[in-house]
Structure 1
Amino acid sequence: MTHPAADWSQLTHAYGPADDIPGLFARLNGGKEDEKVWHDLWSALCHQGTVYEASYAALPALADIASGRAPGERKQAVLMGGLIVAEADATLRGRYASQITELTSVTHACLTDVPADEPETFVYLAQCLLAFEGVPIWSQQLELLFEEFEAECSECEALTCILLGEYADQSDAELHPASPDELTGVGGRIYNMARDAGHDQVAAWVTHLFGHANCPECGTRFSIPVCIAG
């Protein structure tokens, strides 16, 4: 289905009227200037993780790039699309259903191409996949695999600094990774995706994310995913 063209003059992004967005997309040509163009697009449409009216209107253009109908880097299109769709409500998901379906397919292809030495790229793309599929929580929180965050003890409510990725040994709490054969749901799926794609490092991080931690204040062992889900 062809999506009706957006009236960009009536939309806004981080810096005001969004009538500059079509011109930015038109400047993408696979050349050396593309990096700056993508920087400008990210800054306007996803400023510090915030999305705007114009962000959703950009989904058809992002789907065109991801699918090769328009010039531009498909990985950038997928990553931007994933962040935008993660914020979309049911109405917006319905409005852009065909673009989301297309972006989902391209994301699967991108995941198979991520080099083993780019674990963060794999995680971000996996998070995008969950966003396109409408998976709650982990479509925005999977990136905690390599980010520092605070967890609240379920018993004494003390806040503890948690690190799960390559710096997990610096976490304030003692971590207890889940056994791979105990992982179910999203945890099991991402673990298996990572292993199948040769990203054993990501798979190991997943066992920490879906494992437990000991509160350094009272010693209580609490579930990390339950804490994140709130």
Structure 2
Amino acid sequence: MVNWTEMHDCYGDVDRVPALLEQVEREDDAEAWEELGYRLVLEHDLVFPASFASLPRLVCLASRSARARGLAGTILRCAAGHHGCDDLLANCANEISEFRELLDRHLQSRPVDYLATFLASLAAMEEYHWSAVLGDFTDDFYQLACPHCAVEVTIAIGGHGRYSAIRDWNLGDVDRRDLRPALPEALSGTGRWMYETAVRDGRGALADGITHLFGKAECPQCASVFDVADEYTSANRPVLR
């Protein structure tokens, strides 16, 4: 049982969120959902005790409410931030597992909000770094340091090309080197889940982008070859405490 007297929202209130939850549980009230959203997730992706305390009830609503599904997903995608509520997040482990299964069923319906659902699924797997930056590979860029010479390398995956380069703010991306995509059968862990899910759901462009994201890049400066996803994960994956 949640002690709402200890669960403040972004305004410091402890009574408004439970009242709003009761309201949206009774009826799909657009104004109530809007207020609930900005009380639970502040701009700059800040979340609060009331955000995590609301997750179980949002998950219960998520199978029949796109707003509940979207808000629960947004809260999870913010979970890697400095919110001081790790104990509350841990207490939601069962609901997060249930939510992940619900999201997977929704992905299989090939919805219009496919990418948002895909990103929420990654957050439910605690892959917050990918949840924060993964796009649809029409215009994706990743900045990372070469693990051998430390020069900043731009990784491009999209309609403009699939390459590593040195970014020059006057000349653009120079000394481009083609990426070397991973073989699908060589993928493992999160990369394999991402690829197989995209293929299952008929998202060819997403699946192709994932093979490049989990493939290899050549550093334009020292010509060393490194794993793109491994280096990005090492530099950006948050440490949860």
Superposition TM-score, scaled by structure 2 size: 0.73
**Aligned-partner Cα distance in 2 for 1:159–1:39:** 41
For residue 30 of structure 1, the aligned residue among 4, 28, 31 is: 28
The one-letter code sitting in structure 1 at the alignment partner of 2:74 is M
**Aligned-partner Cα distance in 2 for 1:142–1:211:** 19
Once the two structures are superposed, what CA deviation does each residue of 1:71-98 show, in whole Å capped at 9, x if it has no partner?
6634314423532556698744542233
Aligned-pair RMSD on alpha carbons? Answer: 3.0
Task: Tell me how far 1:145 sits from its aligned partner.
Answer: 2.9
The one-letter code sitting in structure 2 at the alignment partner of 1:41 is L
Q: Could you tell me which residue of structure 1 aligns to residue 141 of structure 2?
A: 148
For residue 98 of structure 2, the aligned residue among 102, 106, 109 is: 102
The structure whose residues are more often helix, as a share, is 1
Q: Could you tell me which residue of structure 1 aligns to residue 226 of structure 2?
A: 222
Sequence identity, in percent?
A: 25
What SS does the aligned partner of 1:157 have?
coil
Task: Tell me how far 1:166 sits from its aligned partner.
Answer: 4.4
For residue 151 of structure 2, the aligned residue among 155, 158, 162 is: 158
Task: Tell me how far 1:152 sits from its aligned partner.
Answer: 0.7
Q: Does 1:76 align with 2:70?
A: yes
**Aligned-partner Cα distance in 2 for 1:75–1:55:** 14
The one-letter code sitting in structure 2 at the alignment partner of 1:43 is Y
Task: Tell me how far 1:197 sits from its aligned partner.
Answer: 0.8
Superposition TM-score, scaled by structure 1 size: 0.76
For residue 181 of structure 1, the aligned residue among 181, 185, 188 is: 185
**Aligned-partner Cα distance in 2 for 1:73–1:106:** 14
**Aligned-partner Cα distance in 1 for 2:94–2:116:** 22
Change (3 A) 1:77 1:187: same
The structure whose residues are more often strand, as a share, is 2
Change (3 A) 1:75 1:56: closer
The one-letter code sitting in structure 2 at the alignment partner of 1:45 is L
Gaps of 5+ in 2: 166-175, 235-241
Count of aligned pairs: 214
Once the two structures are superposed, what CA deviation does each residue of 1:87-144 show, in whole Å capped at 9, x if it has no partner?
69874454223322321221121111234xx5xx4343233334334x4xx3432453
Change (3 A) 1:166 1:98: same
Q: Could you tell me which residue of structure 1 aligns to residue 47 of structure 2?
A: 51
**Aligned-partner Cα distance in 1 for 2:142–2:37:** 24
What SS does the aligned partner of 2:143 have?
strand
Kept in 1, the 8 Å contact 2:119–2:134? The answer is no
For residue 116 of structure 2, the aligned residue among 120, 124, 146 is: 124
Task: Tell me how far 1:57 sits from its aligned partner.
Answer: 0.7
**Aligned-partner Cα distance in 1 for 2:163–2:33:** 34
The one-letter code sitting in structure 2 at the alignment partner of 1:51 is V
Task: Tell me how far 1:167 sits from its aligned partner.
Answer: 4.7
Task: Tell me how far 1:170 sits from its aligned partner.
Answer: 7.8
